[in-house]
Each structure stands twice: as structure tokens, then as C-alpha cells.
Structure 1
Amino acid sequence: MKFCLFSCKYAGDSATLQWKKYPLLFLMEEVETYSHVTPVQIRFNDIDIMGHVNNAVHQYYYDYARLQYFRDVFGRLISWNEQALVLASIHVNYQEPIGLDEQIEVHTRITRIGNKSIGMAQRIVSTHTGTVKSYSESVLVGYDRKKGATFSIPQEWRERISWFEHARF
């Protein structure tokens, strides 16, 4: 069984994230509760002078997994030319360095769906040890590129995400 060392909670309907760190012995959240897994190949360019994956590269891994998540939810690669989900907020906590020879995957799940926004939790996990390398909580906002304004999350999106997550949003 794999465990996360820390948990994060989304509070309220605003785009404000409130974080709470729990001691290792008091709260451990099972990684299996994440509905989507994306394997990630570490490239030599990802490594910094310290010999581990640079902290900014974690964001690329999360972006890639986010794209794969929505591709799998909707059954196709989404064209964001008209209606898109834009990243409004992201918070990343780094737990352990990632070496060039490690094998990792990103675990992704939706934590909430508001009127115009979606909360997402992600973790980068070692495939060999189950160790959480970093975790992220983000808020995505529905944005209509033609109108230049936000939009309400469509019912079809809610239904597909709910089906995929085995949850009701």
C-alpha cells in the first residue's frame, strides 16, 4: 500500500487555497484514492546542478498529467480554442528530491467542481517505493477565449468527471 506524507484541503468556493500540514503519524492518505496515473520519463535536461530534478520541472510534469487526465476523461485530446480551463492557482510542496535514474508517475484527481472552477490535487510518486516526491493543489477556471470571460462549468463536463472519479460533483 502506498501512502502520502501530507494532505491538503481546499476551503471554500473562492480561489483561495488554505493549506494544512499534518504530521506523518497522525494522517496518511492512500495514494490509491487518486483516479488517474500518468507515467513520466525523466530527461537529462530536467536535472539541475544538484543532480536532481529541478523544482520548476515538477510544474511541467503536473501540466502534462493534467492534459492526459482530461484526454482520458473526455476520450479525446481537448481543443481549448474556444472554451478552456486556465490555471488560476497552483501550490506545490516539495517532499524529496527526484534523481535521474528514478521512475515516477503523477497521480491526479478532481477535488471539487464549483460554478466556474475545478479543484485538482496531484502527487508525483516514486513507482518503486511509493514515496511522494511532491504534491500540488490547483484551481482551474473555465474561460471563453472568444468572449474573454469566465464561464460556468458545463453539465456534460461535470457528468464525465463524476463518472471518471466515481464521485458526485
Structure 2
Amino acid sequence: MNKPAPATRNAYPHFLQITTRWMDNDVYGHVNNVVYYSYFDTVVNEYLIRAGVLDFERGATIGLVVETHCNYFAPLVFPERIEAGLRVVRLGTSSVRYEVGLFKEGEDQPAAQGHFVHVYVDRVTRRPVSLPADLRAALEPLTVAVQAD
């Protein structure tokens, strides 16, 4: 299996600064791999909340993660500021593929990059639903075309 080439900073239309925490480091002195997925969740959900399209307490539609992946290129550590880049590479009927690059502050190459896929479902029935128009409109500015590996 070949590791994909990292996407540079200019490939991401939205950024969120995240500060690492003491508890993020593991016994090996770097941020533990499970924490990277927390950073992914943070940048995506921060964007959706600020865009007004995620009401995690009462919204009729919710996004469930059905797939995740991450490639690691360089360690992140505490204390450090991370700039999480966000883009959308696929807007489907009921799903969205988000891609995230985690950059050390000011660097052009990511320390890690990955993706996760949300399938949007009815909160009560948990059955897939079409993406609401306001969600689609909020995600369109993040949508970029990428070449397949």
C-alpha cells in the first residue's frame, strides 16, 4: 500500500486553529493517533455549527460517521498550535466526504491528513435522508475537485 502524497495548505479553503493539550501526548512524547480523529471532528463540527447547519441537540438531521482514515507524515506534540484545514471532496445525495489536513502552525506540508464520511440520517429513525438544502449550501464553498489516487 502506497502512502498518498500530502496535500499542501492551499488545498484547503477553511482553517481552524487548535491548541494541543497536555493530555494529547502519549508515553512516546507525541500526540496519540486517536487524538487526530478528535481534531478532525472539531474542525468539521465547528464549521457546521458556525454555518448554522448543525443543531446537535434538536436538529432533525444528524451526520453519522461511517468511514475514517488518516495518514501520518510528522509528529505533533504538546505544546503546539495546529491549523486544521478542511475541504469537501464529495457531496452525495445523503453523504459528505470531508478531508482534513493537520498543519503545524505556519507550515505548508501537513503533519497528517485524512478523511471521514458522514451519512446524514433522520435523528429518530436513523435512516438516510437527502442533504438539507442549507447544509448543501454551507458545504459548497468547501467543495474542491481532487484527482483520484
2:51 is paired with a residue whose SS is helix
Q: 2:130 aligns with which of 119, 132, 152?
A: 152
Whole-Å Cα distance in 2 between the matches of residues 137 and 167 of structure 1? Answer: 14
Matched, 1:37 2:15: yes
CA change 1:167–1:105 in 2 (3 A) is closer
1:108 is paired with a residue whose SS is strand
Corresponding position of 1:90: 68
Residue identity (%): 24
- How big is the alpha-carbon RMSD for the aligned residues of Structure 1 and Structure 2? 2.3
Whole-Å Cα distance in 1 between the matches of residues 62 and 10 of structure 2? Answer: 28
Contact 2:7 2:110 in 1 (8 A): no
One-letter amino acid matched to 2:55: I
One-letter amino acid matched to 1:32: N
Q: How many residues align?
A: 144
Highest relative contact order (Cα 8 Å, sep 6+), 1 or 2?
2
CA change 1:166–1:116 in 2 (3 A) is closer
Q: Which runs of 5 or more structure 1 residues have no equivalent in the other structure?
A: 1-18
TM-score norm. by structure 1 comes to 0.75
One-letter amino acid matched to 1:30: T
Q: Which runs of 5 or more structure 2 residues have no equivalent in the other structure?
A: none
Contact 1:124 1:135 in 2 (8 A): yes
Contact 1:73 1:161 in 2 (8 A): no
